[in-house]
Structure 1
Amino acid sequence: MGRHGWDSGVRRWRLTALLGIGVAALALVLTLSTLRDNGTSTTGTTKDGAKPHGTPVVPRDKPGPELGWGFTHTANSADEGKAASVDRAEKLLAAQPLPQIQHIMGWGADNPEPVPGHYDFDAMDRRMDFIRATGGTPVITLCCSPDWMKGGKAGVNNTDWDEIEKPPVRAHYKDFAGLAATVAKRYPDVRHFVVWNEFKGFWNSDKGRWDYEGYTELYNLVYDALKKVNKDIMVGGPYLVMDSLDPRQKEGASTEVKGPWGSADQRVLDAFRYWNENKKGADFVVVDGSSYTVDDELLPDEFQATEKLTAVSRWVREQTDDLPLWWAEYYVEPGDANDAREDWEESHRVAVHASGLIAMAKGGASTGFYWNPQNKGAKCAGCLWRSTELGDGGSGLPMLELISRFHKEFGPGTTYETVDIAADDVPNVRVIADDKAVLVVNTLDRPISAKVDGRRFDMRGHEVKWLKRR
Structure 2
Amino acid sequence: MRRHGWWTGAGRWRLAALLGVAATALALLVTLTRLPGDGASTAGTSRDGDKVHGTPAAPSGAAAPSVGWGFTHTQYSADAEGGAVTARVERLLAQDGGLPQDQALMGWGADNPEPVKGHYDFGAMDRRIDFVRASGGTPVVTLCCSPDWMKGGRAGAGNTDWSRAALETAPTPAHYQDFAHLAATVARRYPDVRHFIVWNEFKGFWNDAEGRWDYEGYTALYNLVYKALKKVGKDIMVGGPYLAMDSVDPRQTENASPTFRGPWGAMDQRVLDAFDYWNRHKAGADFVVVDGSSYTDDDDLLPDEFGATDKLTAVGEWVRRRTHDLPLWWAEYYVEPADAGDERKGWSEPRRLAVHAAGLIAMARGGAESGFYWNPEEKSGSCPGCLWTPTDSAQGGRELPMYGLLSRFGRAFPPGTRYAPVSVAPDDRPVVRVLATAATVLVVNTLDRPIDARVDGKRFRMGAYEVKWLDR
- 1:394 and 1:156, CA in 2 relative to 1: closer, same or farther beyond 3 A? farther
- 2:36 counterpart residue number: none
Q: Which residue of 2 aligns with 1:78?
A: 78
Match of 1:124, SS? helix
Q: Which residue of 1 aligns with 2:216?
A: 213
Pair 339,61 (structure 1): closer, same or farther in 2 beyond 3 Å? farther
Query: Quick check: 1:341–1:381 contact (8 Å CA) kept in 2?
Result: no
Q: Does the CA-based 8 Å contact 2:256-2:266 persist in structure 1?
A: yes
Code of the aligned partner of 1:325 = L
- What residue in structure 2 maps to residue 120 of structure 1? 121
SS at match of 2:470: strand
Counterpart Cα distance in 2 of 1:111 and 1:344: 37
Residue of structure 1 in register with 2:17 after alignment:
15
1:341 Cα shift? 4.5
Which residue in the other structure is 2:31 paired with? Answer: 41
Instruction: Give the deviation of 1:127 after TM superposition.
Output: 0.3
Contact 1:86/1:388 (8 A) holds in 2: yes
Task: Choose which of 307, 310, 314 in structure 1 pairs with 2:310.
Answer: 307
Deviation at 1:430, TM superposition (A): 0.3
Identity %: 66
TM-score if structure 2 supplies the norm length? Answer: 0.94
Partner of 1:25: 23
SS at match of 1:281: coil
Contact (CA 8 Å) 2:299, 2:339: kept in 1 or not? no
Partner residue in 2 for 1:93: 93
User: 1: distance between equivalents of 2:456 and 2:339?
Assistant: 35
Asked if structure 2 preserves the Cα contact closer than 8 Å seen for 1:141 and 1:195, the reply is yes
The whole-number CA distance in structure 2 between the counterparts of 1:156 and 1:65 is: 39
Distance 1:360 1:454, change over 3 A: same
- Does residue 242 (structure 1) correspond to residue 245 (structure 2)? The answer is yes
Q: Distance in 2 between matches of 1:157 and 1:437?
A: 54
Distance 2:172 2:149 in 1: 9
Q: Indicate the residue corresponding to 2:451 in structure 1.
A: 448
Root-mean-square deviation over aligned CA pairs: 1.6
Residues 412 and 440 in structure 2, CA contact (< 8 A), matched pair in contact too: yes
Cα–Cα, structure 1 residues 59 and 460, in superposed 2: closer, same or farther, change >3 Å? farther
Residue 119 of structure 1 aligns with an amino acid whose one-letter code is Y
Q: Is the 8 A contact 2:56 2:191 kept in 1?
A: yes
CA contact (8 A) 1:234 1:283 kept: yes
CA contact (8 A) 1:261 1:308 kept: yes
Return the letter of the residue paired with 1:176: F
2:109 aligned partner: 108
Amino acid at match of 1:298: L
Could you say which residue in structure 1 is the equivalent of 2:401? Answer: 398
Distance across 2 between alignment mates of 1:131 and 1:337: 33
| Ranges in structure 2 where 5+ consecutive residues have no aligned partner | 34-42
2:289 partner letter? V
1:209-255 CA-to-partner distances (Å, cap 9, x unmatched) read 00000000000000000000000001000000000010111221112
Alignment deviations for residues 96-123 of structure 1 (CA, whole Å, 9 cap, x no partner): 1111100010000000000000000000
Alignment of 1:120-159 (within 5 A): 120-154=121-155, 158-159=159-160
Counterparts in 2 of 1:339 and 1:181: CA distance versus 1, 3 Å = farther
Determine the C-alpha separation between the residues in 2 that align with 1:255 and 1:2.
24
Cα contact 1:13–1:157 (8 A) shared by 2: no
What amino acid maps onto 1:234 in structure 2?
A: M
Give 1:338 deviation, angstroms: 9.1
Q: Distance in 2 between matches of 1:413 and 1:468?
A: 19
Match in the other structure for 1:203: 206
1:131: Cα distance to partner? 0.1
CA distance in 2, matches of 1:113, 1:460: 53
One-letter amino acid of the counterpart of residue 417, structure 2: T
Residue matched to 1:273: 276
Alignment equivalent of 2:348, drawn from 345, 348, 356: 345
Q: 1:355 aligns with which of 355, 358, 373?
A: 358
Query: Are 1:58 and 1:189, in contact at CA under 8 Å, matched by a contact in 2?
Result: yes
Q: Distance in 2 between matches of 1:4 and 1:446?
A: 31
Deviation at 1:59, TM superposition (A): 4.6
How many Å separate the matches in 1 of 2:46 and 2:82? 33
Task: Return the letter of the residue paired with 2:191.
Answer: P
AA in 2 matched with 1:185 = R
Q: Is the 8 A contact 1:82 1:388 kept in 2?
A: no
Is the Cα–Cα contact under 8 Å of residues 245 and 293 in structure 1 kept in the other structure? yes
1:55 is matched with which residue? Answer: 55
Q: For the Cα contact (< 8 Å) 2:78–2:86, is it kept in 1?
A: yes
Residues 434 and 441 in structure 2, CA contact (< 8 A), matched pair in contact too: yes
Distance 1:338 1:393 in 2: 26
User: How many residues are aligned here?
Assistant: 457
Q: In structure 1, what is the Cα distance between the partners aligned to 2:106 and 2:176?
A: 16
Secondary structure in structure 1 of the residue aligned to 2:427: helix
Match of 2:421 among 418, 427, 439: 418
Mapped contact 2:168–2:203 kept (Cα < 8 A): yes
- Check if 1:263 corresponds to 2:266: yes
CA distance in 1, matches of 2:407, 2:364: 15
Instruction: Please give the alpha-carbon distance, in whole angstroms, between the structure 2 residues aligned to 1:239 and 1:450.
Output: 38
Match of 1:160 in 2: 161
The equivalent of 1:229 in structure 2 is 232
Gapped runs of 5+ residues in structure 1?
Answer: none
Matches of 1:99 and 1:276, distance apart in 2 = 25
